[in-house]
Structure 1
Amino acid sequence: MPYSELVGHEKQIETLKRALARNRMHHAYIFLGPEGVGKKTVALSLAMAIHCLERQDDFCGTCPNCVRIRNSNHPDVRLIRPEPGKKDISIQQIRDLERELNLRPFCGKKKIALLDPASLMNIAAQSALLKTLEEPPRDSLVILITTSTGELLPTLISRCLRLSFSSLPSSLVMKFLVEQKGIGPKDAEVLAAVSQGCPGKAISSAIEDFAEKRQAWIQKVSSLQAGDFKTVIELADDVSDDRDESLLFLEWMEGWLRDVLLHRVTESLQGICNFDKADEIRKFAERYSLDGILFLRSKALKTATAIRQNVNRRIALENLLCQVVRVQ
């Protein structure tokens, strides 16, 4: 997929294209932005642009190098993530990467490493990577992909050039879902809204039957409003087994509470993401005070951060859901 076919992020893409054209690429970048907004897609596109055999103003997306990068089997482009069964990116993975970056490119112009999510590097791994970034190997490029820099060492951040990616307009996400993913306009409108401007999140939601999950979550959270502590256990059971499922639920809950807060403050439904659930939004807003809604939203965000840092998911979620029952 050439740059011209990517969704949004024109400013960031132009910055990278200009640096590449002038041979002024930085040795390390941080791509910072919400989950699913397109950071990894842009990073892989940059790798294709660097290695493309047919590139003129744009990379082709179809030459052998572009195809191998898209299929994750190019020898000079590595995607670093936790190994199967592991929770973090280990120091051994970074040491292996360091040795690889010091080798000459096998069939391209640069050795490229994408760490996604970079926030899952443990402290030892970050320290090892810092040494590499302080004396970067020739013809190497490292891209740290993350939703937050809070878990990264300040010294590591200082060695990287930061590119921030913002959520896209819902209309742009909807157009992408309809034209490129073949999703019906009605479903695309809902997915674009609840994904809060993140195309990747919208695609994942469509694949994972998000509409059914969202309906079940709304019903159960509504039961919590009525003081049903039994639902605390049931809902925590449902969403705590899998880390990604826990984070998906918390992302939905944060967005739901954003809508509730917006309606509570403006007494309007304009601008809410869950626009097809207006009645439920109104009832939720009537149940809680403004301070209560702000507290619950903050608690949901903190719970997501804690789960990313590998706390006990079940306990963290039960604690949050108990607050939904107790808070006024």
Structure 2
Amino acid sequence: MQYQSLYRQFRPTGFTEGYVGQQHIVRTLQNSLKANRVGHAYLFSGPRGTGKTTTAKILAKAVNCLSGDSPVSEPCNQCELCAQVNSGQSIDVLELDAATNRGIEEIRDLRERVRYAPAVGRYKVYIIDEVHMLTTEAFNALLKTLEEPPAHVIFILATTEAHKIPATILSRCQRFDFRPLSEEQIAAHLCQVAKSSDVSVSKAAAELVAFRAQGGMRDALGLLEQVIAYAQGEIDETQVWEALGTVDRSRLIEFINYLGAGEIKTALEMVADFSAQGVDMVQLLSDILDFLRQCLVAASGAVQSDQYREITGRWRSEQLMALMDLVASELKESKYWLQPRLAVEMLAVRACREQFLTRPESKTEPVIQQKEINPATPPKKKADSTPAAVVPTEKVSSAKWEELLKIVKHESISTYAWLKEASASLKGNSLQLNYPKGFMLHRDNIVKGEHRQNIVPALKQVFGVDSYEVDIEK
């Protein structure tokens, strides 16, 4: 028997067995089928590999299944029509690729064919994939049919870019948005597929493949098939990494932590190691960006997962966002590099030198109350018995503070990120910066030389002073 790819072997044939995710869509469609309220046009929108075409074929079988006198909520996959659809030989269920049949002539031909009654089933079902690729003229021709469709015709439009479809078409369809599958859903299904294929796959290996698939089940099955061919036996995390040229989760976390600790030498050594092992550098940047995004979501409490605690326990949300900006910038620029490795090396150097990223906050480090001392101030003389006069403190207006922040932001986004959390007041010839409790990291960073160089000129311009002190509110 001719070999079939895994995604074809394990393509679901019904809404229950083998169907993963999209329960909000399954429930709606099944309820409509049970009530015999079948629409004449559906739009399935979502990322690639999330089940749009598969669901369209299942729906086509359900409305035509010969096991009942009316549409059924679950196709039997035993009758003549179900068998024809499964084998791709049904003349009542037709699939059209709009990427290659996008002109007005093809749609006019389609309009002629919809007049004919179905040969076997109750409905003639037209599945138009990548419908957003149709020309404007073709959409206009299709619109006429959608406005006054024959009673025996159902259109199912599938697209990855619903925003490109004219509003006149959208308004005549029932729209269903397919969501990317979670890593947990994909990993669990991959383990089931591997078991059915008599292949041993570790849970960690399945999770790594799921992470690389970016929410698409078809992509995940294709990657699994590639790894199976490479491993020729039991599959573990290392073999997935070697086969796909990607970096496993633990090394990804290790690399990110080196960036946060400012370890340029070690970070660059890791980049060299990745390159020697054939890691796709552009994919590495993409993996880092996606992992940081998931860490940011986990840090907000929206997702509870142990695998992100290594980062979220040490990094603040603004630090994650700052690093994401750097990674996104290098990912965007990577297409202009002749050697993509340079993009990752630039990320390592920039991240380690950018003070606003992180020196991950220590939870055991004692709090030291400190104030910046002007190095030009001469040694204090021995205090006499006369008490020093109290220097009056004047609160800074919000307009002046915003003006200062605007100037600093123009000079350095990193200095601005550390400065904006403070409140300010004028104390003699100095600006007093006070941070709320828990902002020790901001206080410690804002007194560093590179930030002082950005702040002092702005102080002179806005307040006419040339120094500042920092403290934590009690």
| TM-score, with structure 1 as normaliser | 0.69
- Displacement of 1:261 in angstroms is 4.5
How many pairs are equivalent?
281
**Does the 8 Å contact 1:116/1:145 carry over to 2?**
yes
Alignment pair present for 1:62 and 2:71: no
State the Cα deviation string for residues 73-120 of structure 1 (Å, max 9, x = none).
Answer: 10011111157xx4x633332222222222111111111111112222
In the other structure, the counterpart of 1:2 is: 14
Q: Which of the numbers 183, 190, 195 marks the counterpart of 1:170?
A: 183
SS for the counterpart of 1:48 is helix
**Does the 8 Å contact 1:36/1:198 carry over to 2?**
yes
Cα 1:264–1:296, aligned 2, differ >3 Å: closer, same or farther? farther
User: Structure 1: how far apart are the matches of 2:32 and 2:328?
Assistant: 42
Q: Which of the numbers 50, 56, 59 marks the counterpart of 2:63?
A: 50
Alignment pair present for 1:133 and 2:146: yes
Alignment pair present for 1:118 and 2:127: no
Alignment pair present for 1:81 and 2:115: no
SS for the counterpart of 1:150 is helix
User: Structure 1: how far apart are the matches of 2:243 and 2:293?
Assistant: 18
Amino acid paired to 2:219: K
Q: Which runs of 5+ in 1 are unaligned?
A: 229-234, 239-248, 301-315
Between stretches 171-180 and 23-32, larger displacement belongs to 171-180
Choose between structure 1 and 2: higher helix proportion. Answer: 1
Alignment pair present for 1:293 and 2:327: yes
- Displacement of 1:258 in angstroms is 1.6
In the other structure, the counterpart of 2:405 is: none
**Does the 8 Å contact 1:31/1:163 carry over to 2?**
yes
**Does the 8 Å contact 1:79/1:113 carry over to 2?**
yes
Cα 1:32–1:253, aligned 2, differ >3 Å: closer, same or farther? farther
Q: Which of the numbers 73, 76, 87 marks the counterpart of 1:71?
A: 87
Counterparts of residues 261-272 of structure 1 (less than 5 Å): 261-262=293-294
- Displacement of 1:216 in angstroms is 3.5
Q: Which of the numbers 291, 316, 320 marks the counterpart of 1:259?
A: 291
Percent of pairs identical after alignment? Answer: 28
Q: Which of the numbers 158, 163, 176 marks the counterpart of 2:171?
A: 158
- Displacement of 1:264 in angstroms is 7.9
Counterparts of residues 211-222 of structure 1 (less than 5 Å): 211=240, 215-216=244-245
Counterparts of residues 309-324 of structure 1 (less than 5 Å): 317-318=335-336
**Does the 8 Å contact 1:37/1:201 carry over to 2?**
no
User: Structure 1: how far apart are the matches of 2:173 and 2:74?
Assistant: 25
In the other structure, the counterpart of 1:244 is: none
SS for the counterpart of 1:115 is strand
Q: Which of the numbers 215, 226, 242 marks the counterpart of 1:197?
A: 215
Amino acid paired to 1:63: C
Cα 1:195–1:53, aligned 2, differ >3 Å: closer, same or farther? same
Amino acid paired to 2:89: N
Q: Which runs of 5+ in 2 are unaligned?
A: 1-12, 229-239, 249-254, 256-266, 272-277, 351-474
Q: Which of the numbers 30, 35, 41 marks the counterpart of 1:28?
A: 41
In the other structure, the counterpart of 1:306 is: none
**Does the 8 Å contact 1:31/1:144 carry over to 2?**
yes
Superposed CA RMSD in Å reads 4.2
Amino acid paired to 1:292: L
Between stretches 112-121 and 205-214, larger displacement belongs to 205-214
- Displacement of 1:295 in angstroms is 4.1
SS for the counterpart of 1:3 is coil
User: Structure 1: how far apart are the matches of 2:155 and 2:285?
Assistant: 34
Amino acid paired to 2:155: V
- Displacement of 1:175 in angstroms is 2.3
Cα 1:117–1:204, aligned 2, differ >3 Å: closer, same or farther? farther
SS for the counterpart of 1:2 is coil
User: Structure 1: how far apart are the matches of 2:306 and 2:102?
Assistant: 37
User: Structure 1: how far apart are the matches of 2:215 and 2:123?
Assistant: 32
User: Structure 1: how far apart are the matches of 2:163 and 2:336?
Assistant: 25
Between stretches 210-219 and 95-104, larger displacement belongs to 210-219
In the other structure, the counterpart of 2:162 is: 149
**Does the 8 Å contact 1:91/1:124 carry over to 2?**
yes
Cα 1:290–1:185, aligned 2, differ >3 Å: closer, same or farther? closer
| TM-score, with structure 2 as normaliser | 0.50
State the Cα deviation string for residues 267-294 of structure 1 (Å, max 9, x = none).
Answer: xxx8699x9xx9xxx9xx99x8442234
Q: Which has the higher contact order (CA 8 A, sep 6+)?
A: 1
User: Structure 2: how far apart are the matches of 1:179 and 1:117?
Assistant: 30
SS for the counterpart of 2:154 is strand
